[in-house]
């Protein structure tokens, strides 16, 4: 990430879910980036980390920013990797305070996306199922590949994550399917098959099938298979560290700061065309 101009003011950043795995890495990495000033770190009321120094919680030196029970500090941008219910409440808080948001929470529903659309009329919101730069390039690659190969090639999506992950399939896997559907004129509701179980599971031409694995400490792996007669193309992304997602989210926060109200995605940050 490029450094800010020396005369520029650091971006006032707040981290939701500060004691969580992603929150800790966001705090630790942001501490080494002069374009940011950590203005706040917060958790849900009752979290045992409330009151603790957020730097110590993140495994770095004390930073003097305590973890609070909710979002109270002034900030220009909030990064949110929490849970859908917490994200809903935070959206309302950010709209009231005119604070931009980077949302990396997964498991969002259609109602949640409608809420984000409404909020984006007032504040700048960047929502992404995955903030990895590599994954977002993968989304463009699978769309182009599906468009070129057509229905002569069967499409299967396989995703794997650690055994603590609650939602399945992953938001990234769904984003892969959505990119393919948009590129080929298919429908997520009509052409996506979530599982294959039973005695009569012959593959239907043109369908996209998705499978989920939950095992060990896998950070995140996604593969889109394009299989024809006599050949198979596999487009794979493997994340070996949560820092991949944290760095992408911080890049997104720096990009989003000062942007007008609207809904944005990682494609906007990377300058990728739909």
Sign of the four-CA dihedral 133, 134, 138, 141:
positive
**Tokens (6 digits) for 162:** 């650690």
161 catalytic? Reply is yes
Cis peptide before 31 (omega within 30 of 0): no
Catalytic residue among 37, 165, 207, 267: 165
| Residue where the block lists tokens 């980036």 | 33
Residues of the chain by 3-state class (helix, strand, coil), percent to 5: 35, 25, 40
What letter does residue 122 receive in the DSSP assignment?
A: T
Radius of gyration (C-alpha) of the chain in whole angstroms: 20
Degrees to nearest 5, angle at CA 240 with 47 and 183 = 100
Q: Please, what's the b/e burial string for 76-96 (b: 16 or more CB within 10 A of its CB; e: otherwise)?
A: bbbbbbbbbebbbebbeebbe
What tokens does 234 get? 């596999």
**CA 176 – CA 99 distance, rounded (Å):** 29
Cβ atoms within 10 Å, residue 100: 23
- Phi then psi dihedrals of residue 102, to 5 deg: -110, 115
Which is catalytic among the residues 61, 113, 161, 222? 161
Look up residue 103 and give its two tokens.
């949302």
User: Which residues are known catalytic residues?
Assistant: 161, 165
């Amino acid at each position: 990430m490029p450094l800010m101009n020396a005369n520029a003011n650091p971006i006032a950043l707040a981290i939701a879910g500060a004691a969580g795995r992603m929150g800790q890495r966001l705090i630790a990495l942001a501490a080494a980036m002069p374009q940011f000033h950590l203005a706040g770190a917060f958790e849900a009321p009752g979290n045992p980390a409330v009151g603790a120094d957020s730097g110590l919680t993140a495994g770095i030196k004390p930073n003097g920013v305590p973890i609070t029970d909710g979002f109270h500090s002034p900030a220009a941008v909030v990064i949110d990797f929490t849970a859908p219910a917490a994200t809903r409440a935070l959206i309302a808080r950010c709209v009231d305070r005119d604070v931009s948001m980077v949302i990396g929470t997964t498991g969002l529903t259609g109602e949640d996306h409608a809420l984000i659309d409404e909020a984006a009329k007032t504040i700048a919101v960047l929502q992404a199922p995955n903030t990895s730069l590599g994954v977002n390039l993968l989304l463009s690659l699978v769309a182009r590949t599906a468009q070129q190969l057509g229905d002569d090639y069967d499409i299967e999506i396989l995703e794997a994550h650690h055994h603590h992950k609650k939602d399945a399939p992953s938001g990234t896997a769904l984003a892969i399917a959505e990119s393919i559907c948009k590129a080929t004129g298919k429908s997520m509701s009509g052409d996506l098959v979530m599982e294959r179980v039973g005695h009569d599971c012959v593959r239907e031409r043109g369908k996209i099938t998705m499978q989920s694995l939950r095992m060990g400490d896998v950070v995140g792996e996604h593969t889109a298979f394009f299989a024809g007669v006599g050949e198979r193309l596999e487009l794979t992304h493997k994340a070996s560290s949560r820092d991949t997602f944290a760095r992408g989210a911080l890049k997104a926060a720096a990009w989003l700061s000062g942007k007008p109200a609207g809904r944005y995605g990682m494609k906007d940050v990377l300058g990728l065309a739909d």
